[in-house]
Amino acid sequence: MKTVRLTMAQALVRFLENQYIEVDGVQTPFVHGVFIIPGHGNVVGLGQALTQEAKKMKIYHGQNEQGMAQAAVAFAAQTKRKQICVATSSVGPGAANMVTACGTATANNLPLLVLPGDTYACRQPDPVLQQVEHTNSLATTTNDAFKAVCRYWDRIVRPEQLMSAMLSAFRVLTDPANTGAVCIALPQDVEGEAYDYPVSFLAKRVWRLERRPATEVALDEAAEAIKKAKRPLMICGGGVRYSEAHAEFLHFAETLGIPYGETQSGKSATDWMNPLNLGGLGTTGCSAANEIARKADLVIGVGTRYTDFTTASRWLFKDTCKFVNINVSEFQALKLDAIPVVADAKEALPRLEAKLAGYKPAYKDEVKVAKEKWLEELNRLDSIVYSEKKSWKPEINDANRGSVERYAKDVKSTLCQTTVLGAINHFMSEGDVAIGAAGSLPGDMQRMWRPTGIDTYNMEYGYSTMGYEIAGALGVKLAIGDKHEVYAFCGDGSFHMLHGEIITALMEHKKINICLFDNASFGCINNLQVGHGNLTLCTELRQRNKDGLFGDFLNIDYAGVAKAYGCKGYTIRTMDELMAALEDAKKVKNVPVLFDIKVLPKTMTDGYSSWWRVGDTEVSERQENIACYNDMLAHLKDARKY
């Protein structure tokens, strides 16, 4: 057997360089690049290896370990899991920073490879800088924290272990049914140790994404169930996009006349204006999808995980409703006691459709009426104008109006969030990508957003990671290039938590448009807080006064922060300023742009025929809490148990 003597780190990089994925006969290099923050644990061994062995892979200088790994997650999402970026860090806090990003990847079934540095396998200098000692096991390090958020975890304590570890890692990274985060911990002494690696291990290797076919028995059972349904509903999940079953899903729906709702991951798989597309479904869904779903007698879920937001905490679909689930993952296909069709959606949908020839649901004009009703509401949301003198939005009760009016006074803005969102949406060009993650914006966008094209909506709402938005925008930009714009939608809370990858965008000459909705609060959680009978507690950004944190709202100059970094920044308090800034920003090239948009709190969308179960309080001195608890009990009577 022919061998080559390399350090473990050199062999690792050479291996990464030669991994390819084949989808429908097309081969692509699987590893696009590596994000690195050099530090104690990876700067010497792996750093040397990257300098020597990286020939095709791009090397990106990250600013925060979580941020760079989140960028890698968004990159994988935008490329439909056909390419990945790797993230590597130092030991200790640098490694721990990536744990959150691994949760993001695994929750959303997106491939992410992290290579954290680790303490010495030999233990000779223990305890080393940044090492957490455990008296019950000297084998435990910070990197054991990754186990709960990764699909595969390993630690290379001898250089020859690299071979079995990396084959197992890429088995998971390229498996659509079981992909997610993979952590390979690299003790810093082992990184530099040499071994005679077989040349065959380092040669070009092609991982083929085989489309799993459905069994005839499963398709027959699914077809029989659908034929008995009078009011079926389809769900377009993220699996539709990742399997590239866009055309097959739409053909199935249109041929059989079955309406469908979208999950956050499935949104933009089809044209939002299609007559059968009812829009967002579930807790953050719209009236059209939820009203049809509530009366459905059968649901055909395609590539969906059925999160509590999709099912409205399993309340949206009645106990009598049956399910047929098409999913490449058996675990997901069996949810809600469904008839499972464990298969790739692109392969299964045409075969199932053929077994349903002549079938038509019993809908008359309900779908058309529901969609028209929602379009009217959408127009209203686009054009809301704040007025101090009238109840301008029914959702805002007297208890909340104080915050709205105080913010308008302190920050001197009367912009409404839904109106701003609609204006930006209408301004964007065909093919521009929208990305978001946390706060109230995902709910508004699942309901309101009109995608500018197919696969132009990248919303991380499986882990709902605050701080993903800006890092993710960089990842999307690296994936799509400069042909189209990327618009990140984030709140001020998310900006505070993580925005360091703005620096990486500057270094890489990448323009990302950051739409920062500043309502001086964690508005989404404040809504949840006060909406369930509680008083405001640490969810508004106010100065402290004699009563606590109830003084003036903070009026932070985020545009100034962006300018200090070297970005283009705009402060926006009126619609005229917004439109002028959007137009002017089109001229900007190669640097990030930040729109500091001062929006009133409580001006987001509200629930439309939906519910979300939260931890309501059974015993309280506040009657508002007790009322909410009783409301929860009432909803649970109608909710599915499994």
How many Å apart are CA 378 and CA 45, to the nearest integer? 56
**Within a 13 Å sphere around the CA of 394, how many CA atoms are in the beta-carbon half?**
6
- Reported as a single tens digit per residue, the pLDDT across 72-105 is 999 999 999 999 999 999 999 999 999 999 999 9
Q: What's the chain's average pLDDT?
A: 94
How many Å apart are CA 574 and CA 552, to the nearest integer? 21
The crossing angle, in degrees rounded to 10, of helices 8-17 and 161-173 is 30
List of residues 6+ apart from 309 with CB closer than 8 A: 264, 282, 283, 284, 461, 612
- Reported as a single tens digit per residue, the pLDDT across 552-582 is 888 999 999 999 999 999 999 999 999 999 9
DSSP letter assigned to residue 553: B
List of residues 6+ apart from 208 with CB closer than 8 A: 21, 22
Place of tokens 């208890």: 399
- Which pLDDT band, with edges at 50, 70 and 90, does 400 fall under? low
In the chain, the number of structural domains is 4
- Which pLDDT band, with edges at 50, 70 and 90, does 392 fall under? very low
- Which pLDDT band, with edges at 50, 70 and 90, does 329 fall under? very high
pLDDT above 70: percentage of residues in the chain: 98
Do residues 73 and 59 touch, judged by C-beta distance below 8 A?
no
SS (H, E, C) 488-501: EEEEHHHHHHCCCH
Strand order in the sheet with 181-187: 58-61, 31-36, 84-89, 112-118, 181-187, 152-155
**Last residue of a domain, which of 180, 208, 236?**
208
Do residues 106 and 150 touch, judged by C-beta distance below 8 A?
yes
How many Å apart are CA 316 and CA 339, to the nearest integer? 19
In a domain, 104, yes or no: yes
Do 248 and 168 share a domain, yes or no? no
**Last residue of a domain, which of 314, 342, 374?**
374
- Which pLDDT band, with edges at 50, 70 and 90, does 399 fall under? very low
How many Å apart are CA 70 and CA 56, to the nearest integer? 22
Do 557 and 461 share a domain, yes or no? yes
> Residue 186's Cα: distance from chain center in Å?
28
How many Å apart are CA 514 and CA 506, to the nearest integer? 13
Do 122 and 70 share a domain, yes or no? yes
Q: What domain range is 630 assigned to?
A: 613-642
In a domain, 594, yes or no: yes
Do 301 and 427 share a domain, yes or no? no
Do 147 and 246 share a domain, yes or no? no
Do 158 and 305 share a domain, yes or no? no
Do 341 and 452 share a domain, yes or no? no
How many Å apart are CA 236 and CA 138, to the nearest integer? 48
Do 528 and 626 share a domain, yes or no? no
pLDDT, mean of residues 5-17 = 98
Do 126 and 149 share a domain, yes or no? yes
In a domain, 379, yes or no: no
Find the CATH number of the domain harbouring 64.
3.40.50.970
Structure tokens, 623: 């009657």
pTM over 0.75: yes
Do 223 and 353 share a domain, yes or no? yes
Find the CATH number of the domain harbouring 239.
3.40.50.1220
Place of tokens 């590239």: 244
In a domain, 604, yes or no: no
Do residues 91 and 131 touch, judged by C-beta distance below 8 A?
yes
Structure tokens, 348: 């299964």
- Which pLDDT band, with edges at 50, 70 and 90, does 275 fall under? very high
pLDDT, mean of residues 141-161 = 98
pLDDT, mean of residues 197-206 = 98
Between the CA of residue 94 and those of 48, 65, 138, what are the distances in Å? 19, 6, 20
Looking at per-residue pLDDT, the higher value among 553 and 466 belongs to 466
DSSP characters for 98-165? Answer: THHHHHHHHHTT--EEEEEEE--SS-TTPSPTTPPP-TT-TT--GGGGGGGG-SEEEE-SSTTHHHHH
| Preceding peptide of 127 cis, ω within 30° | yes
* E strand or H helix at 549: none
Do residues 515 and 488 touch, judged by C-beta distance below 8 A?
yes
- Reported as a single tens digit per residue, the pLDDT across 473-510 is 999 999 999 999 999 999 999 999 999 999 999 999 99
Do residues 469 and 498 touch, judged by C-beta distance below 8 A?
no
Looking at per-residue pLDDT, the higher value among 521 and 143 belongs to 143
Do residues 298 and 321 touch, judged by C-beta distance below 8 A?
yes
Do 204 and 221 share a domain, yes or no? no
pLDDT score of 21 more than 60: yes
**Last residue of a domain, which of 208, 235, 251?**
208
Do 150 and 256 share a domain, yes or no? no
